[in-house]
Structure 1
Amino acid sequence: MLKFSLVRRGLAGCGGAIVLACTSLGAWAANAPAPASAAASSPAPAPASATAPPAKLLRYSFPVAETGFDPAQVSDTYSRIVTAGIFEAPLTYDYLARPFQLKPLTAQALPEISADFTEFTFRIRPGIYFADDPAFQGQRRELTAQDYVYALKRHYDPVTKSPNLYLLENAKVLGLSELRKQALAEKKPFPYDVEVEGLRALDRYTFRVKLAEPSPRLHHVVFNDGSAFGAIAREVVEFYGDRIMAHPVGTGPFRLAEWRRSSLIALERNPGFRELRYDEQAPANDPEGQAVARRLAGQRLPMVDRVEISIIEEDQPRWLAFLNGESDVMDRLPNTYAGLAIPNNRLAPYLQQRGVQMFRAFLGDVTLATLYNMEHPVVGGYTPEKVALRRAMNLAYNGPQELVLVRRNQAVRAEGPIPPINYGHDPALRSEMSEYSPAKARALLDLYGYRDRDGDGWRETPDGQPLELELATQSDQASRQLAEIWQKSSKAIGIRMRFKIAQWPENLKSSRTGKLMMWGVAWLAGSPDGDTFLALGYGPNKGAANHARFNLPAFNELYIRQNKLPDGPERFALMQQAVKLMVAYAPYKMSSWRIATDLMHPWVIGYRRNPFQREFYKYVDIDHARRPVSP
């Protein structure tokens, strides 16, 4: 999932107010170096009676604007945080369990999987309903297996331009790619009513997926992710047409109540949501998690009535909104305020006195100081001099400065694409990707003919043409800081660099279509498996996960081989070979694996970051007795 910041699309207790999740960070580090847009109309809630409990409101903010709420069209993290609360996949991850564990959500049980990992059969629970919507013309609409068939087919529809199609294409679902090619060739609407062998509803509540090749982790990658692959009703899509991004209708615990683009997103409890009780399982070595599980056990989900998400791009107003109690959760403390709020990664005394809670965990992501468009005539290509240019830029980039000045030590240096909490990570790996050496960079440029021939202090290309790089960026504080690091780093080796500033959604769109030379982003996993990070380099993923448009046959072969194997030594070895090729050819500069520090006011109950479950707000409660002033 690019956390775009790119979708897709993923530590043991420390004592006190600090909890570290997923894997021990300390132990690991010891061994490592627009205008308003109307949402679907819904009736206003009736006034609360004198004896009714007050509505529970959860407020927090995004640092980046959303793009929309159609699962088949979005890939950015922030839009998918919203769609995850509206749409549901057959499976989900237990919110508290570590290691991460799949469990049924709309499915009756985990899927039936053939021994060769080419057939997956899902049985959906009867009695699950979509949220009421005008598209249903006053009828209550039950979820069926056909809704999942339709939802998956939408990713193949050329009109949808799904950024997540690559996940299904890589799995080679029988017959669907052929339908897509037919629609493209004939320039006709996608034939949704044509049945294919690879995706079929067997009865009202059962559907089967058949693949041309093994895919041992398909259910972890696709069928656990409602944010992109959740069930959607065909009549809703046809009712709203090209307005579907503003009218999400799913079976999940929330529905869209209000949307002011790039300003405010409000979700309200879905009044027709089925009875679903809190039943999360914390590990034995997590006493804080176990306390949460005991306190909330049996509570009906969701526990809050409304979620309001403000878009606050700058760090200072986001921080002040939390301090002033206008935000209940500080989702990822801005790095700018790490020294003030968590000196030495301990919660500051003044925050402890206010009862503020703290939770730290690896995000399961990799920051890309830049991607290099491999099809661009200046930075792209596979010849030795083009590889040398990218590697020299990577060596010149002041990664240590990024960690200190921008990340404020809320990250560790990346040796490759796969972060510590994802399968395929090798803690012993040390690579050039993390090295900072302007001297080596200059020597490499000299060796391959990037020299200053006219004495103006700037290098030219090997054939004597002017050399100037362009980095796409945004106007927020962190982007400005990163751009400054790039400017100083490139100047130190005699390479001109200019900057093209645009809004983040605009850069995302341009990057997908190959219109940017360079862009700094991050990639966030949707599951604990490291395949999603190798997907950054797989050629057929170009324009989807692979924004660098890297296409190396040797890498592609390794990617396919590891993808077909079950977890084990053979697959792990192939993953390491692929990582080394990605480092050597340098389609990206991977700079860090980030650690999220989340802060919560004392009236927020049950918050625990799960990097692979976006809709945390489904699992938290608000204690009005501890909230000083009603919002």
Structure 2
Amino acid sequence: MRARVNKALSALIVGLMLASGLPAAAQGDAAPATKTLRYAFLIAETGFDPAQITDLYSRTVASGIFEAPLQFEYLARPFRMKPATAAEMPEISPDFKTFTFKIKPGIYFSDDPAFKGRKRELVAADYIYSLKRHYDPQWKSGNLYILESAKILGLSELRKELMAAKKPFDYDREVEGLKLIDRYTFQIKLGEPTPRFLYNFADGSFTGAVAREVVEMYGDKIMAHPVGTGAWRLADWRRSSRIVLEKNPNYRDEFYDEQVPDDAPAAIKAQVAQLKGRKLPMLDRVEISIIEEAQPRWLSFLNKQGDMLDQLPAEFATIAIPNNKLAPNLAKQGIQMVRYPRADVSVSYFGMENPVVGGYTPDKVALRRAISLAIDLDKEIRILRRGQAIPGQSVISPGAWGYESGFKSEMSDYDLERARALLDTFGYVDKDGDGWRDLPDGSPLLLTYHTQPDQVSRQSNELWRKNMDAIKIKIEFKTAKWPENLKSSRAGKLMMWGVGWSAGAPDGDTFLALGYGPNKGQANHARFDLPAFNGLYEKQRALPDGPERLQAMTEAKKLMVAYMPYKVHAHRTFTDMAHPWVKGYQRNIFMRDFWRFVDIDTAAQPKQQ
């Protein structure tokens, strides 16, 4: 009886101390500080459902929540993959048509009401279901083109059959290309050789496992209810404003075991050595703000309101990294700099179905090529990008297989005389005497370029206006938020828009996919559809890496230059920064969820107000 009374009295004292704000364990160690990484996106997210998202920022968040069977090693250079939820690397048939995955037992989804209070284990059927979701018209998958181009046997046919019959997608219908072997094993069969198909299964934001009962519970609201097996769970989301991730309590035991490259800086080698053997993730929370304007984002970092800066705004490059070296005042504060080329291209596209700039006849091709020749890329890179880019010769970027450093094309040429001569030759002259060129039929020639309401976009618009003024072509700008432009672009409603495109794997296929006809409304924003290009794209996709594939890719690049559905501007170089209390940060351009491998020294971190 006395023991029970003492126990009850102790509980009462603890309760009173908690209520008064006093530490309950006055005699013991203080509770460890919460480790929170704070930084900002420069563009708003759209949501977090792998079957629906296509933008980089939503993908970044989703990559931390959902897991594909494979992952890229965080620090390995050259880039290489390793198992994530897979028990081992998949078995691949010699003809690159059959892929067999075995999943580790004992991996669990984060808790959610959809599971009705039970722990939900990841099984092979979850991957089959998640792949099928991309074929369900309900979700309008922007990545369906990747799977359809690989021709998973039976799935495209099932999709077409059910769409024709106006029936909902049948997830229980078995198809030859997706087979459940046992509880933890599934197999994919393709209709043609696809040597690099495996890269898709290192992207949790695309092929990550989604539980069927979660989708069925939340329905059309699934973008706001991501539930995965990854290291993180969505704790709070204020659309276009704030995203908070918390450590997933159900995440399995994974430990830091990264191998640092020999040429890594000594400071990084020391940090990696300190992190060896630590349980992942080491952070408790990730807080992401949306700060679209460059100056507030930069000041937020300088004022220590953010722990790291993702992509130093180009307009501050001369201040922060003069001559591409960390400024002395920042170095004295212990700020770390990570500089890297992303497998990335910056383009402006011409809507190929637009009556003004689209089409394949010589006069339309001449108009696009003249516009391209009037773009002063040197000035753009020097003024707008502050030297943090190189001129683009084709859509394929450095860091991707198929990029040729010696490849030179008209894409980067700046030649106003050639531009004017092309326009004159094909009848784009001033017919009404107002000083501006008209269309060959005499109707006004007016370009409409869609843009965003941020400072960088405004500066870009001004350069575009000056370039077009030089060849006497009128241009107007229509401004909308990036997600709105994306939606309109996929519907084929925009005449011209400037976008960036980043590869999810170290291969040039993802860039050539921008011009592949069947990808209209998905990767192919320009809606370019040229049979000769389509044939070359399909040929290179089926070939293993080697001279024959490279030749096909080169010929495809030349066709995109000749027809100019995209004006390639530049391949950008990025610089990230981190305060000294951030440990282990490096950039792997093919692994978005770097948070798993980062730690915070809370003793050195300023106290949050």
Q: TM-score when scaled to structure 2?
A: 0.95
Q: Which moved more, 1:181-190 or 1:523-532?
A: 181-190
Match for residue 134 of structure 1? 113
Match for residue 416 of structure 1? 394
Q: 2:558 aligns with which of 556, 580, 593?
A: 580
Match for residue 362 of structure 2? 384
The percentage of aligned residue pairs carrying the same residue is 62
Gaps of 5+ in 1: 1-46
Match for residue 477 of structure 1? 455
Match for residue 454 of structure 1? 432
Match for residue 446 of structure 2? 468
Match for residue 335 of structure 2? 356
State how far apart, in whole Å, the 1-side matches of 2:555 and 2:82 are: 32
State how far apart, in whole Å, the 2-side matches of 1:574 and 1:297 are: 44
Q: How does 1:319-334 map to 2 (within 5 A)?
A: 319-334=298-313
Q: Does 1:628 align with 2:603?
A: no
Q: CA deviation at 1:287?
A: 4.2
State how far apart, in whole Å, the 2-side matches of 1:244 and 1:346 are: 44
Q: Secondary structure at the match of 1:159?
A: helix
Match for residue 108 of structure 1? 87
Q: CA deviation at 1:186?
A: 1.1
Equivalenced residues, count: 583
Q: Secondary structure at the match of 2:419?
A: helix
Q: Does 1:210 align with 2:189?
A: yes
Q: CA deviation at 1:285?
A: 2.5
Q: 1:79 aligns with which of 50, 58, 61?
A: 58
Q: Is the 8 A contact 1:359 1:599 kept in 2?
A: yes
Q: 2:538 aligns with which of 556, 560, 563?
A: 560
Q: Deviations over 1:440-498 (max 9, x none)?
A: 11111011111112221111111211110100101101111111111111111011111
Q: CA deviation at 1:48?
A: 9.5
Q: Deviations over 1:161-195 (max 9, x none)?
A: 00000000000000000111012111111000001
Q: Secondary structure at the match of 2:138?
A: coil
Letter in 1 for 2:436: W
Q: Deviations over 1:179-230 (max 9, x none)?
A: 110121111110000010101111000000000000000011x111001210
State how far apart, in whole Å, the 2-side matches of 1:58 and 1:137 are: 32
Match for residue 190 of structure 1? 169
Q: How does 1:163-562 map to 2 (within 5 A)?
A: 163-220=142-199, 222-288=200-266, 289-368=268-347, 370-562=348-540
Q: CA deviation at 1:290?
A: 3.6
Gaps of 5+ in 2: 1-22
Q: CA deviation at 1:630?
A: 4.1
State how far apart, in whole Å, the 1-side matches of 2:217 and 2:593 are: 27
Q: Is the 8 A contact 1:129 1:142 kept in 2?
A: yes
Q: Is the 8 A contact 1:55 1:305 kept in 2?
A: yes
State how far apart, in whole Å, the 1-side matches of 2:469 and 2:168 are: 51
State how far apart, in whole Å, the 1-side matches of 2:558 and 2:109 are: 46
Match for residue 138 of structure 2? 159
Q: Secondary structure at the match of 2:306?
A: coil
Q: Is the 8 A contact 1:281 1:290 kept in 2?
A: no
Q: Deviations over 1:375-409 (max 9, x none)?
A: 11111000000000000001111211210111111
Q: 2:568 aligns with which of 587, 590, 609?
A: 590
Letter in 2 for 1:148: Y
State how far apart, in whole Å, the 1-side matches of 2:53 and 2:271 are: 32
Root-mean-square deviation over aligned CA pairs: 1.1
Letter in 2 for 1:204: R
State how far apart, in whole Å, the 2-side matches of 1:278 and 1:179 are: 43
